[in-house]
Amino acid sequence: MLLLSMGVSVDGFISDRDGDFNWTVPDDGLFAFHTERVAELGAFVCGRRLYEAMVVWETDPRMRENEAHAAFADIWTALPKVVFSRTLTAVEGNARLARGPLADELTAVLDSTDADVEIGGADLARQAIELGFVDEFRIFRYPIIVGGGTPLLPPVTSPVQLRLAETRTYEQVVFERYLRVRDEA
């Protein structure tokens, strides 16, 4: 299954007008949940910006400042990643640059593992939704209004029917999990 997982403000943005998303830094309870869910993944697909934000977990020893962070860093480092970028010529750690079209790369990465694959990045997510690849949406809704920026989901060409599968309330966020409704034709 392909999962889309993103933090979002109450007004629907994943970053503010300056591209900042520091309001999504998790508290200890949410961090533990993120560690659990990332440990279940077989691969991660992302764009350049998200890759650059997350590569520190593989490259910066300061990210291992405590036991919880070290555990996440170990999991993240072991997780295979596919990075889409028009500007990067190389990536570090357990990552590779995507060479083919999104549909081909998603098919290959989904076929490479029996576990779920997660995709991150607004533009990649929109494309994957349009192509019909995203099966599950995991939304972390933060209690902040940022007033503009990058929307969670840019417009799609046709509606995508979802079914609410789960909600959890944490001190810092409301977690919403939706499953894509597929026509059984």
Q: Is residue 185 part of a domain?
A: no
10 Å Cβ neighbour count for 176? 17
Positive or negative: CA dihedral 167, 55, 83, 87 = positive
| pLDDT value of residue 62 | 92
Range of the domain at 36: 30-153
Integer CA distances (angstroms), 5 to 14, 31, 59, 162, in order? 11, 14, 23, 15
Is the pLDDT confidence value at 122 over 90?
no
∠ CA 91-154-36, nearest 5°, is 55
Integer CA distances (angstroms), 145 to 1, 2, 78, 131, 174, in order? 31, 28, 35, 30, 14
Q: Report how far residue 108's alpha carbon sits from residue 165's, in angstroms, rounded to the nearest whole number.
A: 27
Percentage of residues of the chain with pLDDT beyond 70: 99
Each residue's pLDDT tens digit, 58-80: 999 999 999 999 999 999 999 99
| pLDDT value of residue 185 | 56
CATH of residue 43's domain is: 3.40.430.10
Is the pLDDT confidence value at 178 over 80?
yes
Average pLDDT score over residue span 11-23? 91
Q: Is residue 99 part of a domain?
A: yes
Write b or e for each residue in 83-101: b if 16 or more Cβ atoms lie within 10 A of its Cβ, otherwise e: bbbeeeeebebebeebeee
Q: Is residue 182 part of a domain?
A: no
Q: Which of 127, 40, 114, 112 is nearest to 82 (CA)?
A: 112
Q: Is residue 15 part of a domain?
A: no
Whether the predicted model's global pTM rises above the 0.85 cut: yes
Is the pLDDT confidence value at 19 over 90?
no
Q: Is residue 168 part of a domain?
A: no
Bigger pLDDT: 157 vs 78: 78
Q: Is residue 105 part of a domain?
A: yes
How many structural domains does the chain have? 1
Is the pLDDT confidence value at 123 over 90?
no
Rounded to 10°, the helix 122-130/102-111 angle is 80
Q: Is residue 61 part of a domain?
A: yes
Rounded to 10°, the helix 28-39/67-78 angle is 30
Each residue's pLDDT tens digit, 81-92: 999 999 999 999
**Average pLDDT across the chain, whole number:** 94
Q: Which residues pair with 47 in a beta bridge?
A: 84
Q: Is residue 66 part of a domain?
A: yes
DSSP structure class, residue 40: T
Is the pLDDT confidence value at 184 over 80?
no
